[in-house]
Structure 1
Amino acid sequence: MYLPSPSDRSRDLADRVERFVRDVVAPYEGDARCTPHGPTAELVDELRAQARAAGLMTPHILEDGSHLTQRETAAVLLRSGLSPLGPVAVNTMAPDEGNMFLIGKIGTPAQKQRFLAPLVAGTARSAFFMTEPASEGGAGSDPSMLQTTAVRDGADWVINGRKMFITGAEGASVGIVMARTGSGERAQSTMFLVDLPHPAVRTERVLDTIDSSMPGGHALVVIDHLRVPADQVLGAVDEGFIYAQVRLSPARLSHCMRWLGAATRAHEIATAYATRRKAFGKLLIDHEGVGFMLADNLIDLQQSALMIDWCAGVLDTGSQATVESSMAKVAVSDALFRVADRCVQVMGGSGVSRDSIVEQVFREVRAFRIYDGPTEVHKWSLAKKIKRDAMREVAA
């Protein structure tokens, strides 16, 4: 199940990435260095050394610094996702892929040299500090609830707050911190680039979560009087909410791309199992209950591919594609969860065993239905748009 490669360069890259992930990366899936909080730093470095030797480090960003189109990126990121370790190895993983995109879009030349270049080279990892503890009334799906504050102090800014579910904070060298600036009901937010580790940014604990593919896991972080120079403001002061949308729409779609690859691989494994395993005198696939599940998988995978390609095409027009990315995120995350769930069911006991990656794909895709906005929040946002459009029609 493959997205179309709209150019020769993306077709070549996608094919090379697929061969590398299948032949070199996939054998590491049973490595003891794959922990509940993601692959260890040692394993990340080992995988990236091999990707670098193969000329596949950060393949969606070209040598001149330009970026593949979103449709081209989709073809490449899908192939990287054929193993949960693939995006880690070739540096297309979250949150780094989205952070590189954002810094590349709005960073100053000095910021790009200092913070972006090591990320593109794959020698550093990053974290995006936005989500906050729900128990403290902090920002989650609603970023306007942001509690972390940034206050001017001379030429610097001083940041205080607590952040939750911060992917990759442990081991990151680059941080993008989103903090509230100003006061009042309509207070704005600002993004800050931060060198990590930093004594004012402390991991309270790394949370035990259902997923386990991202290095560093997901941390609860305390930010205590973090002093940041003014030249490390990312973009303009008070424009953080706008920049969050610049990052989040393509980042949502990138998740869809990568997990489509993972679900495709899970479907391959389940299909191989169903065409080898016999029960009640015939192959599993010859039982309608099994064969129909695999047929439904094929439909969901193809629909997901088409949804991704459509949204990527909209992004390539220069649109922020806020509505389209919400639609794609809902449709693809739900469809891929159905695929992963069926794969587990087809494989029975083998499907819940960690002897294959099917069990992990199931866990990862279940988490994806929440990350980057739960399905229900995106549907609520879409319903509000439907109402606005309808009321506008009535008024006209």
Structure 2
Amino acid sequence: MEYHDSPEAKELADRAREFVDEVVIPTEREHLGQGPVGEDVIEDLREEARDRDIYCPQIDEEHGGMGMDLSDVLPLFEEAGRSLLGASAMRVDAPDEGNMHTLELVGSEEQKEEWLEPLVAGEIRSAFGMTEPRDGAGSDPKMLKTTAEKDGDEWVIDGHKWWTTQGSHADVILLMAVTDPDAHPYQGASIILVPTDADGVEMVRDIPHLGPDMDGHGHAEFRFDDVRVPEENLLGSENAGFAIAQQRLGPARLTHCMRFSGMARRALTIAKAYMSERESFGTSLSDKQSLRYDIADKETELHAARTMVRHAAEEIARGEQARVPVSMSKVFTANVCQEAIDLAIQCTGGSGISRDLPLADFYEGVRAFRIVDGADEVHQRVIARDAFEGAEEHTDELENLPTF
């Protein structure tokens, strides 16, 4: 499909596609079914990505990136998503990608020097601490329980977090905490940079979970007991945590969509190749009409998903929050990608559920996508609220209905 991306976006995507095909996927095949790869493998891939001029394109050049716009890097994100190692290789992997974007948007010059630039370089890792155990913040972030109180020139933090992606490897956590308990929840929380080696930070465990972990991210549980960090570790303005999180989450959700779109695209490619070679009941699977139509449906829906994501990115580029277009993109893409990968597994039979192909890992990853970064139902709530806004103003449409 031709999406009329900019020449810069097309050139970047072409380089990324070649890199994934020639280097990343062969490396992935060597390690399928063996758990997380070593740091040396990731660093070798990153060196190659730097040489090919496709490393961290979304961050400004002054901080070590390539300084490209969101709309221009989205096609690269899709190419990265075709491999379990692609996003880490090109330094467009969550959660670091979203955290780097946040630091670039609202971080002080000192914070950018201390945290952003080492993150871009791949020298450190980060996590985002929002989700809390039962009765705390989750799909409803207003339920935030973790607190940060000012004591002189320090923040004192107490709380409990889990599903902190990459937390067990992180050097710093962008931690969401209540800083004004008397304010409305959306006006009373802040984001504070918490080094994971600070006194009182306890990494309880890495949570066993559904999903691939070839790049070794994991999801950690933390406790914060009288943790003290300097007041200058406040990220952005005090009590602006939710506003900053929205700035982070909009683009991050779109980049997630494109990564998973790439995953679904490769899943269908594998399925079509398998169907073309595999014969059953006298003809190849690719000749079976019902399967051909199933593939056609998923190709159509993936095209719609890519188009929706590009539209939402254009709205953000115009300065809009684009909450409804982002929510539509996220919930639609997550479901389409899950269905496409599920179909690919069905079409490849026993090979699809083996670890000889990446489809089983893809399936575990895409199922989690319907929950992370806002569950389907959260986004449907946003869409429905917008859909019903002002509905009562159009009751004249019902005037010809009989009354009972």
TM-score bracket relative to the smaller structure: over 0.9
Shift of residue 97 of structure 1?
0.9
Tell me whether 61-70 or 204-213 shows the greater mean CA deviation.
61-70
What is the alpha-carbon distance in structure 1 between the residues aligned to residue 319 and residue 39 of structure 2?
A: 36
- Tell me if structure 2 keeps the 8 A contact 1:81–1:260: yes
1:54-133 equivalent positions in 2, closer than 5 A: 54-65=52-63, 67-133=67-133
Shift of residue 393 of structure 1?
7.0
Q: Which letter does structure 2 place at the counterpart of 1:15?
A: D
What is the alpha-carbon distance in structure 2 between the residues aligned to residue 16 and residue 115 of structure 1?
A: 28
Q: Which letter does structure 2 place at the counterpart of 1:244?
A: A
Match of 1:363 in 2: 364
Shift of residue 35 of structure 1?
5.8
State the superposition RMSD in angstroms. Answer: 2.0
Report the TM-score, using the length of structure 2 for normalisation: 0.91
- Tell me if structure 2 keeps the 8 A contact 1:5–1:72: no
What is the alpha-carbon distance in structure 2 between the residues aligned to residue 390 and residue 70 of structure 1?
A: 34
Match of 1:249 in 2: 250
Shift of residue 74 of structure 1?
0.9
Match of 1:340 in 2: 341
What is the alpha-carbon distance in structure 2 between the residues aligned to residue 45 and residue 234 of structure 1?
A: 29
Match of 1:17 in 2: 16
What is the alpha-carbon distance in structure 2 between the residues aligned to residue 335 and residue 166 of structure 1?
A: 26
In structure 2, do the counterparts of structure 1 residues 45 and 198 end up closer, same or farther at CA, with 3 Å as the change threshold? farther
Q: Which letter does structure 2 place at the counterpart of 1:266?
A: A
Shift of residue 95 of structure 1?
0.6
Q: Which letter does structure 2 place at the counterpart of 1:349?
A: G
Does residue 299 of structure 1 match 2:297?
no
Instruction: Please give the secondary structure, in 2, of the residue aligned with 1:48.
Output: helix
In structure 2, do the counterparts of structure 1 residues 200 and 28 end up closer, same or farther at CA, with 3 Å as the change threshold? farther
Q: Which letter does structure 2 place at the counterpart of 1:156?
A: E
Match of 1:237 in 2: 238
Q: Which letter does structure 2 place at the counterpart of 1:344?
A: I
Shift of residue 32 of structure 1?
4.5
**Deviations 1:39-80, CA, capped at 9 Å, x for gaps:** 443433333233234333212335245742222121111111
In structure 2, do the counterparts of structure 1 residues 225 and 372 end up closer, same or farther at CA, with 3 Å as the change threshold? same
What is the alpha-carbon distance in structure 1 between the residues aligned to residue 143 and residue 205 of structure 2?
A: 23
**Deviations 1:283-313, CA, capped at 9 Å, x for gaps:** 1011122212211221121111111111111
Shift of residue 202 of structure 1?
1.9
What is the alpha-carbon distance in structure 2 between the residues aligned to residue 151 and residue 34 of structure 1?
A: 46
Question: Structure 2 unaligned runs (5+)?
Answer: 396-404
Instruction: Please give the secondary structure, in 1, of the residue aligned with 2:277.
Output: coil
Shift of residue 199 of structure 1?
4.0
Match of 1:153 in 2: 151
Shift of residue 197 of structure 1?
3.5
Identical columns (%): 38
What is the alpha-carbon distance in structure 2 between the residues aligned to residue 53 and residue 122 of structure 1?
A: 15
What is the alpha-carbon distance in structure 1 between the residues aligned to residue 171 and residue 240 of structure 2?
A: 24
Shift of residue 25 of structure 1?
1.0
- Tell me if structure 2 keeps the 8 A contact 1:95–1:128: yes
- Tell me if structure 2 keeps the 8 A contact 1:175–1:194: yes
What is the alpha-carbon distance in structure 1 between the residues aligned to residue 334 and residue 315 of structure 2?
A: 19
1:317-396 equivalent positions in 2, closer than 5 A: 317-391=318-392
Q: Which letter does structure 2 place at the counterpart of 1:130?
A: M
- Tell me if structure 1 keeps the 8 A contact 2:199–2:228: no
- Tell me if structure 2 keeps the 8 A contact 1:102–1:246: yes
**Deviations 1:129-179, CA, capped at 9 Å, x for gaps:** 110112xx1100111100111011111101111111010111112320110
What is the alpha-carbon distance in structure 2 between the residues aligned to residue 129 and residue 312 of structure 1?
A: 25
Tell me which structure has the larger Cα radius of gyration: 2
Q: Which letter does structure 1 place at the counterpart of 2:223?
A: V
**Deviations 1:98-145, CA, capped at 9 Å, x for gaps:** 1111111111111111111111122222100110112xx110011110
What is the alpha-carbon distance in structure 1 between the residues aligned to residue 77 and residue 344 of structure 2?
A: 22
Shift of residue 256 of structure 1?
0.1
Match of 2:399 in 1: none
What is the alpha-carbon distance in structure 1 between the residues aligned to residue 40 and residue 142 of structure 2?
A: 38
Tell me whether 385-394 or 241-250 shows the greater mean CA deviation.
385-394
Instruction: Please give the secondary structure, in 2, of the residue aligned with 1:275.
Output: helix
Instruction: Please give the secondary structure, in 1, of the residue aligned with 2:24.
Output: helix
Tell me whether 184-193 or 69-78 shows the greater mean CA deviation.
184-193
Shift of residue 315 of structure 1?
1.1
What is the alpha-carbon distance in structure 1 between the residues aligned to residue 205 and residue 323 of structure 2?
A: 33
Does residue 258 of structure 1 match 2:234?
no
Shift of residue 33 of structure 1?
8.6
1:183-202 equivalent positions in 2, closer than 5 A: 183-184=181-182, 186-187=184-185, 188-202=188-202
What is the alpha-carbon distance in structure 2 between the residues aligned to residue 35 and residue 182 of structure 1?
A: 47
Q: Which letter does structure 2 place at the counterpart of 1:106?
A: V
Match of 1:209 in 2: 209
Question: Structure 1 unaligned runs (5+)?
Answer: none
What is the alpha-carbon distance in structure 1 between the residues aligned to residue 295 and residue 335 of structure 2?
A: 16
Instruction: Please give the secondary structure, in 2, of the residue aligned with 1:198.
Output: coil
Shift of residue 184 of structure 1?
3.5
What is the alpha-carbon distance in structure 1 between the residues aligned to residue 354 and residue 171 of structure 2?
A: 35
Report the TM-score, using the length of structure 1 for normalisation: 0.93
What is the alpha-carbon distance in structure 2 between the residues aligned to residue 352 and residue 337 of structure 1?
A: 15
What is the alpha-carbon distance in structure 2 between the residues aligned to residue 96 and residue 34 of structure 1?
A: 25
